[in-house]
Every structure is written in structure tokens, then in C-alpha cells.
């Protein structure tokens, strides 16, 4: 089952609220400044495999920067 979150780097302001919301701590903050001048949230390919598509990160995101996809088994 492959689930996925997509973090829109142009909308993310680097607030990091999603990092604590994720029950598996799969999201970290990038060390590269994005075009807006923020350090956006990001998820590694490896962590993405573990993502359950629970949408916790998206729920707390103030900028609707995260969209979530759930794969059907």
C-alpha cells in the first residue's frame, strides 16, 4: 500500500507544526532555503514509504501546503 504526502514548497512557511503532528515523525525541516526564504518541511523517499496517509500533518498545517494521497490495497 503506497501512501503519499506532497509538500508544496511554495506555500510552506517552515513553521514545522507538521513535524510534531506526524505520529511517526517522518517529516523534517529542510536545510535549504526555498524561494520564499523559508526552510520548508520535507519528507525523504525512505520515510514516505512508512507514511500511513493519516493526514495529521495536513490537518495542522496553517497554509494548506500538504496534500495527502492514500493508495488502495
The cell for 37 is 526564504
SS (H, E, C) 4-52: EEEECCCCCCCCCHHHHHCCCCCEEECCCCCCCCCCCEEECHHHHHHCC
Smaller CB separation from other proteins, 19 or 47:
19
The reply on whether position 53 binds other proteins by CB under 8 A is yes
Smallest separation (angstroms) from other proteins to the CB of 18: 10
The reply on whether position 45 binds other proteins by CB under 8 A is no
The reply on whether position 59 binds other proteins by CB under 8 A is yes
The reply on whether position 28 binds other proteins by CB under 8 A is no
Do the strands 4-7 and 27-29 form a parallel or antiparallel pair, or are they unpaired? Answer: unpaired
The reply on whether position 11 binds other proteins by CB under 8 A is yes
Amino acid at each position: 500500500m503506497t501512501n503519499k504526502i506532497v509538500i508544496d514548497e511554495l506555500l510552506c512557511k517552515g513553521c514545522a507544526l507538521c513535524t510534531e503532528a506526524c505520529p511517526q515523525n517522518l517529516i523534517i525541516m529542510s536545510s535549504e532555503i526555498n524561494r520564499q526564504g523559508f526552510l520548508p518541511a520535507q519528507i525523504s523517499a525512505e520515510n514516505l514509504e512508512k507514511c500511513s496517509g493519516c493526514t495529521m500533518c495536513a490537518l495542522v498545517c496553517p497554509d494548506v501546503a500538504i496534500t495527502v494521497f492514500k493508495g488502495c490495497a
